[in-house]
């Protein structure tokens, strides 16, 4: 298996024209069905968000400073255990977009006709900008769905928007975002690895390890 550093170099060397070709070959147009923003069965919606993306959503003029870290992000649930009171505790890695009581993304809304919309669309994270596509490199979010190109680098998750016409300009925009996401995910994975130190949280406490170190659930550094 290649090192994360080697995978990062591969991500940086990705040709966006090739990525755009793959995207254009299958086609895509968002139908605003909301499937990528909703929880599934009993599982809450889970989409990785980088620390700087959390801060961008916090600081967005659209929300007039009404959001704090916990409004935007929650600890990634993997590796955490549940206390007798139903709270989570333990250590985990990275952040997920916050969810509402239904398990849907907190930024997702539907109008009376059932058409979905992201209220943070202009500031949405890279994982949302690139859905339903991903790049199959170790250290990036696990690719789901079928390979789009012959090399199997670009994958497409099941989505009703696939197979629809897409302009070359939109395919290129998506390709640039897809490459940026792959690079960012690998940079984050390397930084998390390098910054990690066991935190030994107290009972009932959650510690999140991200590229900036160990944090509490409100995003403040653990050592403060």
In a domain, 27, yes or no: yes
Evaluate whether residue 187 is within a structural domain: yes
Residue 87: per-residue pLDDT: 83
Q: Which of 101, 104, 100, 102 is nearest to 35 (CA)?
A: 104
Q: What angle do CA 95, 173, 125 make, to 5 degrees?
A: 15
Q: What is the pLDDT of residue 49?
A: 96
Is 141 among the domain residues? yes
Q: Which residue has the tokens 């395919």?
A: 171
pLDDT per residue over 11-20, tens digit each?
Answer: 999 999 999 9
Cα atoms in the 13 Å half-sphere on the side-chain side of 123: 18
Structural domains in the chain (count)? 1
Note the pLDDT of residue 66. 73
pLDDT score, position 194:
95
Instruction: Summarize pLDDT for 29-61 with one digit per residue, the tens.
Output: 999 998 899 988 778 889 999 999 999 998 876
Per-residue pLDDT in tens (0 to 9) along the chain, 224 residues: 689 999 999 999 999 999 999 999 999 999 999 889 998 877 888 999 999 999 999 887 666 667 899 999 999 999 899 888 888 899 999 999 999 999 999 999 988 887 888 988 889 999 999 999 999 886 555 546 677 777 778 999 989 999 999 999 999 999 999 999 999 999 999 999 999 999 988 888 999 999 999 999 999 999 86
Whether residue 149 lies inside any domain: the answer is yes
Q: Does residue 221 lie within any of the structural domains?
A: no
Across-strand partners of 191? none
Provide the pLDDT for residue 147: 73
Residue 184 lies in a domain: yes
Give domain status of residue 220, yes or no.
no
* Structural domain that includes position 110: 4-215
Note whether residue 102 is domain-resident: yes
Q: How far apart are CA 177 and CA 183, in angstroms?
A: 10
Phi, psi of 72, deg, nearest 5:
-95, -45
């Amino acid at each position: 298996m290649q090192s994360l550093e080697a995978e990062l170099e591969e991500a940086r060397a990705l040709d966006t024209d090739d990525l755009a070709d793959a995207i254009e070959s299958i086609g895509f147009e968002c139908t605003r069905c909301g499937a990528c923003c909703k929880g599934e069965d009993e599982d809450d919606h889970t989409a990785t968000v980088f620390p700087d993306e959390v801060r961008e959503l916090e600081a967005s003029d659209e929300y007039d400073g009404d959001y704090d870290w916990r409004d935007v992000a929650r600890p990634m649930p993997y590796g955490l255990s549940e206390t007798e009171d139903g709270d989570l505790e333990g250590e985990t890695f990275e952040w997920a977009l916050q969810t509402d009581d239904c398990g849907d993304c907190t930024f997702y809304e539907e109008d009376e006709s059932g058409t979905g919309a992201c209220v943070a669309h202009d500031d949405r994270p890279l994982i949302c900008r690139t859905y339903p596509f991903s790049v199959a490199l170790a250290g990036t979010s696990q690719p789901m769905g079928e390979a789009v190109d012959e090399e199997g680098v670009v994958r497409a998750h099941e989505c009703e928007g696939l197979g629809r016409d897409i302009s070359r300009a939109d395919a290129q925009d998506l390709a640039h975002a897809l490459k940026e996401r792959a690079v960012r995910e690998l940079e984050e994975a390397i930084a998390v690895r390098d910054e990690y130190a066991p935190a030994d949280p107290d009972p009932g406490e959650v510690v999140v390890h991200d590229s900036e170190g160990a944090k509490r659930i409100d995003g403040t550094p653990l050592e403060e």
